[in-house]
Structure 1
Amino acid sequence: MAREQLGICAEANLHGSYLLCNALDGQEAALRQKLSRLPQLLNRLSEHFSEAMLTAVVAISSHYWDTLYPWQRPADLQAFPEFASDHFAVSHSTADLLIQVRSDRADVNHIALQQVYQLIVSHVEIVDHLFGFRYLDGRQLTGFVDAPLNPRGQLRRKVALVDAAISPVFAGGSYLHFYRILLDQQHWLMLSAEQQAEIMGYQKVDGKVVPNSDYYENSHLACCQVAQEQGALLLQQNMPFATLQLQGALQLSFSADSQAFSRHWGQRLGLNTPGIYDRLLDFCRIDLAAAFFVPSLSYMEAAARGDFSNTASNLFE
């Protein structure tokens, strides 16, 4: 049975660190070995700092997958969708690898990433190193509760992890879309609480749905609900980030379905229903976005050993 990376379905933490890397040419064999060792390294740290609830995710980008694991590709693994929209523009990243570390202690995250870096530094170049944090009781910097439609309990695994019955080779893996969304906080804060609630579709304090709003169908909540009803099921792991000049969120959307995020994103952009789009995007822009696949621990270890005896054919032939 495939063993998934524990960071996919882990509950929320207080601190997050995100390492975006590009692989150096000709380092594929070494990286397969090193990446397969990362979960063991992080598990040892997790046991040592058990109160920190340390977890991690190692993800391979859509454009680098065929270089690192050329024998087989997850079904319909594609780049971050480049939809043309009148409401929004996205700047894409070319990072080959994403390594996410989360815990309840910032110092443990630092220790973990230092050890990760020492393990892979001779094979990669660092593109970016990002930090996120838990804001109040799990809120966005808008002041509203984040991802109110997120699946809970055992449903998280069903939504996020590829089923063995669908794909035995990639069972326990997950399609991941990562993006950094910037909030125009100056203009957002000029709105009244009622105007903000109409845009979000739910109240800031108690999270209740806004009643009888003429604008509800264009709200953030309504667009996400429609996408979910159409089968765009996502497990989101979002964390705010902030500097004195920039504020926003680092957003990770996991799914067992390769097309779920595209359907979700298309609905928010207003591509599915003319005139209906997520009005929250009027106050946001994305300056960093990429699509990845998170392989199971079993797959990473088999790739490092060159052992594919459990697949339908010998993929190295």
Structure 2
Amino acid sequence: MTPQDRAQDVLAPPAKAAIFLTVTIRPGKEREARDALADVAGITRAIGFRIPEAALSCVVGIGAEAWDRLYAAPRPDGLHPFRPLAGEKHVAVSTPGDLLFHLRAGRPDLCFELGRQLMVRLEGLVDAVDEVHGFRYWDERDLLGFVDGTESPTLAAESGLAALVGFDGADPDETYVGASYVIVQKYLHDLDAWERLSVEEQELVVGRRKLSDIELPDSVKPDDSHVALNTITDPDGTERAIVRDNMPFGAVGTGEFGTYFIGYAADPGVTEEMLRNMFLGRTPGRHDRILDFSTAVTGCLFFVPPAAFLEDPDPFLARTPGLSG
């Protein structure tokens, strides 16, 4: 069985609609919550089966503190609470989150129904702490008007290598082959301030042409542009990637507009390095200019176990040294 076969729907193609639902588990409800997670795949199939062309999917992520409460196995190596970052001007906050449900489909009604049924199943067990309904906007653009996710890998081999644990064969005991780590942040945009910039000024902030999406030449692109600070390379020059599935969201009546950042990675350290560059700067004080117009109001890190783990963790516990099912 390949890593893709073992994985949850981490590598699902970008959808037209999504719901990002973050919840905390009530004290004393751990066993019931763990049992409910075993039902997520079945609930998803029951709803998606009626309209298969909409490709409904759900990815479940588990936070560090929740892992300690739910499972006997030690935490996966890269799982820890989201580490806040305090730069000279901007802060990446850490906010509560035990479970993440990333719902995707070609139609928003399927995401809505799946989210509703999941909360019915989890009634009395969890409390919702964040819920964002995302949508595709024009030709894959965010509400700042730029195409988002251009550098996210699209080929199956590249995206698998970037997002799935063990895809490169580096997990010798194969305990969590097909797993992933996901970091999420909800960003709110100051569109009034952003739109006071000229298009040329906006392009220097982002590091790309607004209309064509072509990256600016190095001779023009500022070193504190969003593109420059999110380019991560190994010592040998190999560029490190993550799989993004960011979505715009907004409420026109209240004037709340933003981007929900979600990045899957086999190694969460890659995403964390990008965030350090953004908030702290490669050079102290040279933060990502986009943060002058976009404020992070949430921040969580989750482990996305292989699909089979949620339905029956016992076989995975049996592979863990010192533990048995």
Q: TM-score, normalised by structure 1?
A: 0.92
Kindly indicate whether the alpha-carbon contact (under 8 Å) linking 1:169 and 1:299 is maintained by their aligned counterparts in 2: no
Q: Indicate which of 169, 172, 175 corresponds to 2:175.
A: 169
**Deviation (angstroms), 1:276:** 3.7
Within 5 Å, give how 1:66-77 maps onto structure 2. Answer: 66-77=68-79
1:258 corresponds in structure 2 to: 268
- Separation of aligned partners in 2, 1:207 and 1:34: 43
Q: Indicate which of 27, 50, 53 corresponds to 1:51.
A: 53
Percent of matched pairs sharing the same residue: 28
1:159 corresponds in structure 2 to: 162
Kindly indicate whether the alpha-carbon contact (under 8 Å) linking 2:18 and 2:103 is maintained by their aligned counterparts in 1: yes
2:8 corresponds in structure 1 to: 5
Kindly indicate whether the alpha-carbon contact (under 8 Å) linking 2:72 and 2:317 is maintained by their aligned counterparts in 1: no
**Deviation (angstroms), 1:147:** 1.8
1:240 is the counterpart of 2:243: no
- Separation of aligned partners in 2, 1:42 and 1:234: 26
Within 5 Å, give how 1:1-317 maps onto structure 2. Answer: 1=1, 3-6=6-9, 8-154=10-156, 155-163=158-166, 165-167=169-171, 168-211=174-217, 214=220, 216-226=222-232, 232-244=240-252, 245-303=255-313, 306-308=314-316, 311-313=319-321, 315-316=323-324
**Deviation (angstroms), 1:203:** 0.5
Deviation readout 1:170-195 (Å, 9 max, x if unpaired): 21111110110111111000011111
- Separation of aligned partners in 1, 2:217 and 2:182: 34
- Separation of aligned partners in 1, 2:78 and 2:110: 36
- Separation of aligned partners in 1, 2:320 and 2:145: 50
- More moved, 27-36 vs 132-141: 27-36
Kindly indicate whether the alpha-carbon contact (under 8 Å) linking 1:174 and 1:254 is maintained by their aligned counterparts in 2: yes
Kindly indicate whether the alpha-carbon contact (under 8 Å) linking 1:227 and 1:267 is maintained by their aligned counterparts in 2: no
Kindly indicate whether the alpha-carbon contact (under 8 Å) linking 2:86 and 2:92 is maintained by their aligned counterparts in 1: no
Q: Which amino acid aligns with 1:106?
A: P
Q: Which amino acid aligns with 2:260?
A: L
Q: Which amino acid aligns with 2:302?
A: F
Could you say if the C-alpha distance between residues 82 and 212 of structure 1 is closer, same or farther in structure 2, counting changes exceeding 3 Å? closer
Q: Which amino acid aligns with 1:235?
A: V
- Separation of aligned partners in 2, 1:258 and 1:226: 13
Deviation readout 1:62-119 (Å, 9 max, x if unpaired): 2211111232211031222222211311332212111121111111111111221121
Structure 1 residues not aligned, in runs of 5+: none
- More moved, 288-297 vs 222-231: 222-231
- Separation of aligned partners in 2, 1:91 and 1:258: 17
**Deviation (angstroms), 1:32:** 1.8
DSSP 3-state at the match of 1:216? coil
- Separation of aligned partners in 1, 2:316 and 2:263: 29
Kindly indicate whether the alpha-carbon contact (under 8 Å) linking 1:227 and 1:264 is maintained by their aligned counterparts in 2: no
- Once superposed, what is the RMSD of the aligned Cα atoms? 2.1
- Separation of aligned partners in 2, 1:230 and 1:177: 22
**Deviation (angstroms), 1:314:** 5.6
**Deviation (angstroms), 1:21:** 1.2
DSSP 3-state at the match of 2:78? coil
Could you say if the C-alpha distance between residues 311 and 26 of structure 1 is closer, same or farther in structure 2, counting changes exceeding 3 Å? same
DSSP 3-state at the match of 1:247? strand
- Separation of aligned partners in 1, 2:74 and 2:295: 34
DSSP 3-state at the match of 1:177? strand
- Separation of aligned partners in 1, 2:38 and 2:178: 15
Structure 2 residues not aligned, in runs of 5+: none
**Deviation (angstroms), 1:310:** 5.2
Could you say if the C-alpha distance between residues 271 and 210 of structure 1 is closer, same or farther in structure 2, counting changes exceeding 3 Å? closer
Q: Which amino acid aligns with 2:246?
A: N
DSSP 3-state at the match of 1:186? helix
Kindly indicate whether the alpha-carbon contact (under 8 Å) linking 1:178 and 1:251 is maintained by their aligned counterparts in 2: yes
Could you say if the C-alpha distance between residues 272 and 219 of structure 1 is closer, same or farther in structure 2, counting changes exceeding 3 Å? closer
